[in-house]
Structure 1
Amino acid sequence: MEIQNKSAGRLIKLIISGFCIGLIATIGACKKDNIKKEYPQGSNEQINTWILDSLSRYYYWAAELPKKPGLGQSPVAFFSSVKNASDRFSQLYLPNQAGVSSSRSLYGFDYAVIQEPLSLEVLGLVKCVLKGSPAERYGLKRGSYIRKINGKIFSSSNVVALDQELLTGRTIKLTLTELKDGGYIDQPELNMIAGLTFEQPVLHQVIERGGLKIGYVYIDGFSAGMASTLVSVFSGFKSAGVSELVIDLRYNSGGEVSEAAGLCAMVAPGLTYNTDFIIYKGNKNGGQRKESIGEAATFDKRLDFNALLQNNLSLSRVFILATGATASAAEVVINNLKPFMKVTVIGEKTVGKDEASFLISDQRIPKQVDWEMYPIIYKLFNAQGQGGYAGGISPDLELSEFTLLPLVPFGNANDALLSKALDQISAQKVNAGLRSSINEARSVSQIGRILSDSHLAKATQSIVLTHR
């Protein structure tokens, strides 16, 4: 019996020893599997490993990243391969690479190409001319028609080619044309040279209609410092006794949440520093975070929230002009004012950027990866938890800005979108005589296809920037 017990003891020891050896081997294998491979600096594998690690931490769709992506691809191809199918806006780039050229960045104007059905002419239609730009110096104005680029007449078959030709090189020859007596008369050719453009001033005015004073402000974008500029504008509105407001965001492709918050702080009634303004919803690392309008507007200490409140118009409603080029932080203004006041959107459905990002770059010393990215990190919601406008924000009153042509300067009561807003405010039909000074105005029902639009291209490349 004693011998048997000793044998059993030895057997148990052998079994335990075997188990321990197996466990040690398994742990060793796990450790070996978890050890990250070291790749040569600058190799695709090394760069893509950094991209994947960053996305795993911050990316809204981090849980859905592929388990074994192909690290050997070029960084651009790799980034594209791991992006979620729902992700339209994340960006990866090298800082020293030139940005995407556009008619705006090169020459300071945006335009659409339309087919005018009465004459079947295909023409470029200038939509916006930046102050101080080459386009302004060469005499382009909002509403100008372009017949030729480099001597080539626009046609429905060469729109893309001429759009690209405009972006090639540093000079361009433009032939403008004017509609007179039922026909188009070409103007002398312009030999335009590319040049710098600068931060644009805010366009604003007070319009009197039916005994009311109506504030109008056109905001081109929400770049850093925009809200500070708007303080003096709203101070003027308040001093003038403005009781209605039209905010023109038709070409506003967005920018920073803080600047949008600064604007909202001067529009919506009943606000305090701690009034809930925006909700960020991220992945399991980011979680859900709520931010007050005071925190959002003053996080970088550029703005004094009391100064914003002092110039608050305390309105019960606001009219916002929007198009298919209205995006990101401009959409935040629309969505995040809704819990506080009646918001009437006039124009077209917006782009649909209900998401936010911030810059991610390699912070190691020394830096090992030069690439930078703006991945989607948050989904955005207003104070009442309303969001989900990835398909765009639909207008309350649908209308094309091409309803009345030629296009007139921003703030002109003959502009189709502003005219509709003024009608709504005054509850009166616009006097037909208002357009008597506009030669041969035509309605959008007579306009053919919009063949291209530089503003739409710009809007798809923008992103909502947040400090969160």
Structure 2
Amino acid sequence: MTNSIIYLKRTTYYSIYFVILFLAILPSCKKGNKIPDYPIGSNENINSWILDSLKRYYYWNEQLPAKPNLNLSPKDFFNSIRNSSDRFSYISIPNDPSTATPSNRNFGFDYATVSDQNSAKVIGVIKLVLKDSPASRAGLKRGDYISKINGKTLTVTNAQTLQTEILNSDRFSMGLAELNNNTWTDTRTVELNKGIILDQREISKVIESDGKKIGYLYFLDFNGGLASSLTPVFSNFKAEGISDLILDLRYNAGGQVAEAAGICAMIAKNISFDKPFITYRGNKNGGAKTESIGTAATFDGTVNFNTLLQQNLGLSRVYILSTAATASASEVIINNLKPFIQVVLIGEKTRGKDEASFRIFDARSPKQVKWEMHPIVYKLFNAQGSGGYSAGITPDIAVNEMSILPLLQLGDTADPIVKAAIASITGNAIKTSVALNHVIPESFKADHILVDSRVQSAQQSIVTTHRLK
């Protein structure tokens, strides 16, 4: 009889996981049916480990092929046995960029390439610049325009090709432009090299409008320790006596369930440790389990639940800003706050990630397999059993942030999404969608989005949780 052992263990940096040990018992060895003893490091050995892991945990484990081709490279093998319904599972070797899906993050910015109604003019619009990054050190800022990439003028036909050039490069050039009196003028060229990007700080402020004190909070992702790091922000909101909260998740591609639960615990009224928060539904091995908000918020060990409750705002309503790049744990906040309080979603439809994963890696000593997997393991639901948002969550108030160009700084009260939230809070609710660029009809109208690097990055993110006991 043959035993195959897989370990999962906790890490202590931004991704925190529980140690998991399981024993998969394979059929008895019979004469003429002996399982090959593949050499360590061979594709067959690695792929056998991958297959054994997926048979235990993968949401679609019963649809795995009976006799897959073990000779393939590990990444090709993994992709060959992924279920056709699986949009997000991936495999990579840590600290090996050649095995990872590239993004713009190491350059420190995201942008959208847009065209006007007749595709007569194509321009790039910088949406996000990370602090202390190659982009910020080059003087780039949100709202800047891009006319060229690697010396090539952006067009409808080459927009995606030029974005691919960025993703496949360690260095590239970018030509900037300005719009003056409806005329585009090239200004300067910047060279960007990949760099190491540190954790990004939140943006928070208190907005006073029509006698209301409104808290505004933006953060980029749900890395481990986020809820703990935001306790001073919520403490300040509480001390200021805010009546409403705008949670800006427009570019937040997600991360850990624990941090999403921790943020929720500081927002909604009538929170207690044992209140049901999230339901995980896995395969026949995993079953289904509902977890309380206290258990969910503290499973990664980065915060004490009583500390979160001390900052609780006791709100009955929250306003959340979204785009197509709002995904994963951001959608957990949107969906899983609904049983507690009213959630007013403003902006665009979200990405639609109603599934979760935990990291699977080989912790044997010495390690035999360098690859790590993040397969879909669970479907996600809130405390009322509501989920199924794979097509995205539709906003209550539809607003396109490109309706005013240039883009304003995050948190600016004239930003169209923030403005719509304030109007709704103060009683001047917008009942219909905000028309694209209706405010500046004589300027460039961004009618068609050709490429959005932030949305592409959101496609690669995944809801991260732990193995349920």
TM over 0.5: yes
Where does residue 433 of structure 1 map in the other structure? none
Q: Secondary structure at the match of 1:189?
A: strand
The equivalent of 1:19 in structure 2 is none
Task: Give the CA deviation at 1:30.
Answer: 7.1
Q: CA deviation at 1:184?
A: 1.7
Deviation at 1:90, TM superposition (A): 0.8
Equivalent residue number for residue 215 of structure 2: 215
Q: What is aligned with 2:80?
A: 81
- After TM superposition, the structure 1 = structure 2 runs for residues 81-100 of structure 1, keeping only pairs within 5 Å, are 81-98=80-97, 99-100=100-101
CA contact (8 A) 2:111 2:127 kept: yes
Change (3 A) 1:441 1:144: farther
Q: 1:149-160, aligned counterparts within 5 Å?
A: 149-160=149-160
- Look up the match of 2:104: 103
1:21-45 Cα offsets, whole Å, 9 max, x none, are xxxxxxx997347643222222222
CA RMSD of aligned residues (A): 2.2
Contact 2:234 2:266 in 1 (8 A): yes
Distance of 1:201 and 1:442 partners within structure 2: 35
Deviates most, 207-216 or 195-204: 195-204
Structure with the higher fraction of residues in helix conformation: 1
Find the aligned partners of 2:186 and 2:216 in 1 and give their Cα distance.
34
In structure 2, C-alpha distance between the alignment counterparts of 1:122 and 1:254, rounded to whole Å: 30
Q: CA deviation at 1:119?
A: 9.0
Residue type at the aligned position of 1:148: K
- Partner residue, 1:226: 226
Partners of 2:29 and 2:35 within 8 A in 1? no
> Which residue number in structure 2 is paired with residue 382 of structure 1?
382
For structure 1, list consecutive stretches of 5 or more residues without a partner in the other structure. Answer: 1-27, 431-437
Q: 3-state DSSP class of the match of 1:377? A: strand
What's the CA shift for 1:127?
0.1
Structure 1 residue 273, shift from structure 2 partner: 0.9
2:252 equivalent to 1:252: yes
**Cα distance, 1:91 vs structure 2:** 0.8
Q: For residue 96 of structure 1, report the CA deviation from its aligned partner.
A: 4.2
- Aligned residue number for residue 261 of structure 1: 261
In the alignment, is the contact (CA less than 8 A) between 2:207 and 2:214 conserved in 1?
yes
Matched residue of 1:326: which SS?
A: coil
For 1:234-245, list aligned pairs within 5 A. Answer: 234-245=234-245
Decide whether aligned partners of structure 1 residues 174 and 446 sit closer, same or farther in structure 2, where only a CA change above 3 A counts: closer
Q: Against the structure 1 CA distance between its residues 162 and 32, is the aligned structure 2 distance closer, same or farther, given a 3 Å change threshold?
A: same
Indicate the residue corresponding to 2:270 in structure 1: 270
Q: Assess, with a 3 A threshold, how the Cα gap between structure 1 residues 444 and 251 changes in structure 2: closer, same or farther.
A: farther
Do structure 1's residue 395 and structure 2's residue 395 form an aligned pair?
Answer: yes
Could you tell me which residue of structure 2 aligns to residue 24 of structure 1? none
In the other structure, the counterpart of 1:125 is 125
Q: Say whether residues 1:52 and 2:51 are aligned partners.
A: yes
Segments ≥4 residues shifted beyond 4 Å: 442-445
What residue number does 1:17 align with? none
Partner of 2:69: 70
Partner of 1:115: 115
CA contact (8 A) 2:182 2:442 kept: no
**CA 1:29–1:217: 2 relative to 1, 3 Å:** closer
What is the SS of the residue equivalent to 2:423?
Answer: helix
The amino acid across from 1:71 in the alignment is L
| SS of aligned partner of 1:187 | strand
Is 356-365 or 83-92 further displaced after alignment?
A: 356-365
Q: Distance in 2 between matches of 1:429 and 1:355?
A: 33
1:343 paired to 2:365: no
Choose 158-167 or 354-363, whichever is displaced more. 158-167
For 1:278 and 1:372, how far apart are their aligned partners in 2? Answer: 26
Partner of 2:183: 183
1:292-318 deviations in Å (ceiling 9; x for gaps): 111111123321111111111111111
Q: Normalization by structure 2: what TM-score?
A: 0.87
The match for 2:138 is 138
Counterpart Cα distance in 2 of 1:426 and 1:254 = 29
Verify: 1:460 aligned to 2:454, yes or no: no
Whether the 8 Å contact between 2:176 and 2:187 is mirrored in structure 1 is yes
Contact 2:149 2:172 in 1 (8 A): yes
Q: Structure 1 length as normaliser, TM-score?
A: 0.88
- The residue type equivalent to 1:88 in the other structure is R
TM-fit CA distance, 1:442: 4.7
Equivalent-residue separation in structure 1 for 2:192 and 2:367 (angstroms)? 42
Of 270-279 and 395-404, deviating more is 395-404
Aligned residue pairs total 432
Q: Conserved in 1, the CA contact under 8 Å of 2:224 and 2:300?
A: no
- For 2:224 and 2:441, the matched residues in 1 are separated by 39
Contact 1:202 1:229 in 2 (8 A): no
Offset of residue 367 of structure 1: 2.5
**Does structure 2 retain, via aligned residues, the 8 Å contact 1:403–1:445?**
no
* Farther-moved stretch of structure 1 (229-238 vs 75-84): 75-84
Q: Provide the C-alpha distance between the structure 1 equivalents of 2:310 and 2:299, rounded to a whole number of angstroms.
A: 19
The change in CA–CA distance for 1:172 and 1:327 in structure 2 (over 3 A counts) is same
Partner of 1:262: helix, strand, or coil?
Answer: helix
- Aligned partner of 1:10 in structure 2 is none
**Matched residue SS, 2:164:** helix
- 2:204 equivalent to 1:204: yes
Separation of aligned partners in 2, 1:185 and 1:384? 54
Give the 3-state SS of the residue equivalent to 2:220 in structure 1: coil
Counterpart code for 2:295: E
Which has the higher mean CA deviation after the structures are superposed, 257-266 or 355-364? 355-364
Counterpart of 1:114, as a letter, is V
Cα deviations by residue, 1:322-360 (Å, 9 ceiling, x for unpaired): 111111111100010000011111111111111111111
**1:413 has 2:388 as partner:** no
- Which range moves more in the overlay, 229-238 or 185-194? 185-194
| Equivalence for 1:310 | 310
> 1:301, 1:189 → 2: CA distance?
46
Amino acid of the structure 1 residue aligned with 2:40 = Q
SS at match of 2:188: coil
Q: Which deviates more, 243-252 or 143-152?
A: 143-152
Q: Percent identity?
A: 52
- 2:8 is aligned to none
Q: Could you tell me how far apart the structure 2 residues matched to 1:171 and 1:240 are?
A: 45
The alpha-carbon deviation at position 444 of structure 1 amounts to: 10
For the residue of structure 1 that corresponds to 2:266, the secondary structure is coil
* 8 Å Cα contact 2:115-2:445 kept in structure 1: no
In the aligned structure 1, how far is the partner of 2:167 from the partner of 2:213?
43
Q: Are the aligned partners of 1:253 and 1:326 in contact in 2 as well (CA < 8 Å)? A: yes
Q: 8 Å contact 1:403–1:444 — kept in the other structure? A: no
Structure 1, residues 78-108: CA drift from partner, whole Å, max 9, x if none?
Answer: 2122211111111112224203333321x21
Structure 1 distance, partners of 2:379, 2:442, is 39
